[in-house]
C-alpha cells in the first residue's frame, strides 16, 4: 500500500462555496472519474475540471444532501459530502505531492478555520489511520502484519473469536454526529468544536511540536514534526497524551451513550432540565493543569450545560469551573 496522506475537514454548511473546494482540487491531481450520489441516485462520468465545477455548483446551489467524488486508479481522491449536520471534505494525496503542496494546504486550511467555517480538521498518514482502526485479525494475517503487541478482546459478534482492542490505539478515532474525535499528526479546531472539547484543554497541551492560536478563536496543533514518524515511541506517547488531556474518547463515548466502565470516572453526564437552560450537564474532573483526571484525584470540576440546537448539534449554554 502506498502511504498517501489523508486530509479531512469538517465544516459548517453555511458559507461553503465552489471557490473553497476548487482551491483544493486544483492542486494538480490527475483525476479520471467522477462519481456522485444525489437524491439516492449514484452516477459516474469522465472527469474534467469543467464537469466537476458544473456538478458541484449545482449541488451547492440546492439544499439537498449530496456526495461527489473524483478519483483515479492511484491513491488520489477527493470526496465532498453534505448532510443536514455539516459538510465533509476528504482528500487522499500522494506523499510527494503533499510535500510539495504542504505550505499551500496548511494556508488554505487555516483560512477555512479563521473564517469560522471549520469545525474540526486533521491530516495524517493513510496507512497509519488504517492500521490504528482495523480490529479484524484476518486483515492483519492477509497483509502479513504482526499483531502480537496488540491487545485482544472477545468479538462482540462471535464469542469464540478475538479482535484487536482498537480503543487502546493512540490513533483510533470516533465519528459521532459527523464530528471527528481523535488525535492525529496535524489538527485544526474551530469555535463550534469547543462545545464538545473546551478550548482550555486544547491550548493547555504543552507536549506538541506546535500548538498555536489562529484568527477567529481557531487553533492548530502539530503533534510532532514529520508526518511519517508516527511509529516513534515518543510520538505515540504524545498522540495518546493529547487524547487523554482533551478527553476525546470520554466525550465521544458519552455522545454515543457508551461510557467506559470506570467508577472513578473523569467525565460524568446527567440528563434533565438544569438551572441555565441545559438539558444535559457534563462534569469534567481536572487537575491544577486543567488536564482530565480521575474524580478521586481531581482538584477542580468543570460543569457545562448543553442543549441540542436546530441542526441537531449539542451547544454549550453555560460553563463554570469550581474547586473541589
Q: What are phi and psi of 216, to 5 degrees?
A: 70, 25
Which tens digits make up the pLDDT trace of 176-201?
989 999 999 999 999 999 988 989 88
C-alpha distances out from residue 193 to 118, 255, 315, Å = 9, 14, 9
Output the pLDDT for position 262.
52
pLDDT exceeds cutoff 60 at 263: no
Average pLDDT, rounded, for the chain: 90
Q: 213: which 3 cell numbers? A: 492560536
Q: What is the reported pTM?
A: 0.82
Integer Cα distance of 182 and 176 in angstroms: 11
DSSP summary character for residue 275: T
Mean pLDDT of 71-98: 92
Amino acid at each position: 500500500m502506498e502511504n498517501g496522506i489523508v486530509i479531512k475537514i469538517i465544516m459548517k454548511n453555511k458559507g461553503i462555496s465552489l471557490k473553497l473546494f476548487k482551491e483544493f482540487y486544483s492542486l494538480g491531481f490527475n483525476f479520471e472519474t467522477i462519481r456522485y450520489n444525489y437524491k439516492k441516485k449514484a452516477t459516474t462520468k469522465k472527469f474534467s475540471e469543467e464537469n466537476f465545477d458544473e456538478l458541484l455548483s449545482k449541488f451547492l446551489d440546492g439544499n439537498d444532501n449530496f456526495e461527489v467524488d473524483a478519483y483515479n486508479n492511484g491513491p488520489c481522491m477527493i470526496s465532498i459530502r453534505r448532510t443536514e449536520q455539516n459538510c465533509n471534505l476528504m482528500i487522499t494525496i500522494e506523499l510527494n505531492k503533499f510535500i510539495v503542496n504542504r505550505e499551500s494546504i496548511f494556508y488554505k486550511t487555516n483560512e477555512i478555520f479563521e473564517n469560522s467555517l471549520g469545525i474540526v480538521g486533521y491530516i495524517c498518514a493513510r496507512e497509519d489511520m488504517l492500521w490504528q482502526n482495523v480490529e479484524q485479525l484476518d486483515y492483519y494475517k492477509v497483509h502479513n502484519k504482526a499483531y502480537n503487541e496488540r491487545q485482544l478482546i472477545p468479538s462482540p459478534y462471535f464469542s469464540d473469536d478475538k479482535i484487536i482492542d482498537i480503543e487502546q490505539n493512540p490513533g483510533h478515532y470516533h465519528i459521532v454526529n459527523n464530528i471527528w474525535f481523535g488525535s492525529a499528526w496535524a489538527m485544526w479546531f474551530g469555535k463550534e468544536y469547543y462545545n464538545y472539547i473546551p478550548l482550555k484543554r486544547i491550548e493547555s497541551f504543552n507536549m506538541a511540536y506546535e500548538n498555536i492560536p489562529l484568527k477567529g478563536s481557531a487553533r492548530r496543533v502539530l503533534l510532532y514534526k514529520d508526518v511519517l514518524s508516527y511509529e516513534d515511541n515518543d510520538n505515540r506517547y504524545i498522540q495518546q497524551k493529547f487524547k487523554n488531556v482533551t478527553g476525546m474518547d470520554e466525550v465521544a463515548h458519552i455522545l454515543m451513550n457508551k461510557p467506559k466502565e470506570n467508577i472513578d470516572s473523569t467525565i460524568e453526564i446527567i440528563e434533565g432540565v438544569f438551572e441555565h437552560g441545559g438539558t444535559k450537564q457534563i462534569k469534567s474532573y481536572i487537575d491544577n493543569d486543567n488536564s482530565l483526571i480521575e474524580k478521586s484525584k481531581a482538584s477542580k470540576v468543570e460543569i457545562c450545560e448543553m442543549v441540542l440546537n436546530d441542526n441537531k448539534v449539542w451547544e454549550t449554554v453555560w460553563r463554570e469551573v469550581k474547586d473541589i
